Amino acid sequence: MRIALLALEGSLLSAIAGLSDIFWITNQVVLGSPEHAGRFSTPPFETVIVSADEGPVWDAQGRLIPVDCSFLSAGQPDIIIATGMALDVSRMPVNSESIRKAAVWIRRRYEEGARVAGACAGGFILGEAGLLDGRRCTTTWWLYHTLQQRYPNARPVWGKALEEDERVLTSGGPLSWVALALHIIKREAGADVARLTADMAVADSQPLSQQVYAPPGFINTRHPLLMCAEEVIRYRNPGISAEGLATALNMTERTLQRKIKKLTQESPKEFITRVRIESACVLLANPVTNIREVAAECGYTEDTAFRKAFGQVMGMTPSQYRKWIEERSSLNTVSDLKLNK
């Protein structure tokens, strides 16, 4: 598989070099394992770094990114990956002309059968190419509103670490290229090879939901309806149904369904569940709270239903989330102690 790594002015050098390295590691894993070497006559992945004119480009910190070939000489890659990059004050990539050229090239290659991928702000390049229109996608949580505003025909999914729709793959977070690469390796070389690569790279092959990092309620701040709905669920009636929420907001269920879906890509039921689980996360940050009491306070009459909903939204159990919070808190404590010395 030939993978083109897009180098634009302001791209993150670490992401481009890291992607090249992780696919190289995969090749070493495959060729060094008798169990897997027989499946591949040649290394399964080839990476090339491409720019518009084959010349090196400046990265986000003013260092040169070496380039292998131009768009014209890159041929037809199997997949093109756009990485995270520096953004301007409006949270858009800094070089509009460079973005335009890349978008045109990516669009043509996609129409010829290539898969395309965007990590973090790299997904904006796919948006400029029109490849997010009508498709489910994701980006880092703090760029979610920007993506919605810039590409109103896209269908961003809140909190997802990875999303793929019709050969268009997106991931969230400047370092999400690791999860993106492992996803590609798993699909093209198999889950066992992806697992071995993750082990060699000491990386987590199961990326966490972005909702563990985003402030509770962040997505709802973009629209008054969402803020009102959150206030009803979080403070007035955590156990409210979709029908009850529509009544509380003085609209029909059908209208609520249409508006929530347009704003969040969620059904009213999914929206209610997310708000309830976000409330639970705040409560679970207190180490003395009981998980069953948290479930009840967030509108769940059955502990099992709460645990199931929590896992679906957060990608981990309430106990695992509490442990994750404790570990993060301990790291912050160590950092504070060092700074105060």
Contacts of 340 (CB under 8 A, 6+ apart): none
Pairing type for strands 115-119 and 136-137 reads: unpaired
This prediction has a pTM of 0.82
Measured in degrees and rounded to the nearest 5, phi and psi for residue 134 equal 75, 5
> Strand order of the sheet with strand 115-119?
69-70, 46-51, 2-6, 79-82, 115-119, 168-171, 162-165
Please report the pLDDT score of residue 215 as a whole number.
Answer: 80
Domains of the chain in sequence order: 2-208 (3.40.50.880), 215-328 (1.10.10.60)
Residue 331's pLDDT band, with cuts at 50, 70 and 90, is: low
Residues 298-325: what's their mean pLDDT? 92
3 state DSSP class of 112: coil
pLDDT at 205: 60
Structure tokens at 255: 């209208």
Task: Indicate the pLDDT class of residue 334, thresholds 50, 70 and 90.
Answer: very low
Please calculate the CA angle 258-263-267 and round it to the nearest 5 degrees.
Answer: 50
What is the percentage of the chain residues whose pLDDT exceeds 90?
Answer: 68
What is the pLDDT, as a whole number, of residue 338?
A: 47
Q: Is the pLDDT of residue 267 over 70?
A: yes
C-alpha span between 89 and 140 (Å, rounded): 16
Q: Sign of dihedral through CA atoms 130, 135, 139, 145? A: positive
User: Using 50, 70 and 90 to split pLDDT, how confident is the model at 275?
Assistant: very high
Each residue's pLDDT tens digit, 25-81: 999 988 887 777 678 878 899 999 999 999 999 999 999 999 999 999 999 999 999
Identify the pLDDT of residue 98. Answer: 87
Lowest mean pLDDT among 39-53, 86-100, 284-298: 86-100
Average pLDDT, the chain: 90
Mean pLDDT of the region 216-236:
89
Q: According to the model, what pLDDT value does residue 288 have?
A: 87
Write down how long the chain is: 341
How many beta carbons lie within 10 A of that of residue 236, not counting itself? 9
Residue 119 DSSP SS3: strand
Q: What are phi and psi of 164, to 5 degrees?
A: -130, 135
Q: Tell me how far apart the alpha carbons of residues 174 and 230 are, in angstroms, rounded to a whole number.
A: 29
Per the DSSP assignment, residues forming a β-bridge with 4 are 48, 80
Judged against a pLDDT cut of 80, whether residue 270 lies above it is answered with yes
CA distance 299 to 307: 12
Q: Are strands 115-119 and 155-156 parallel, antiparallel or unpaired?
A: unpaired
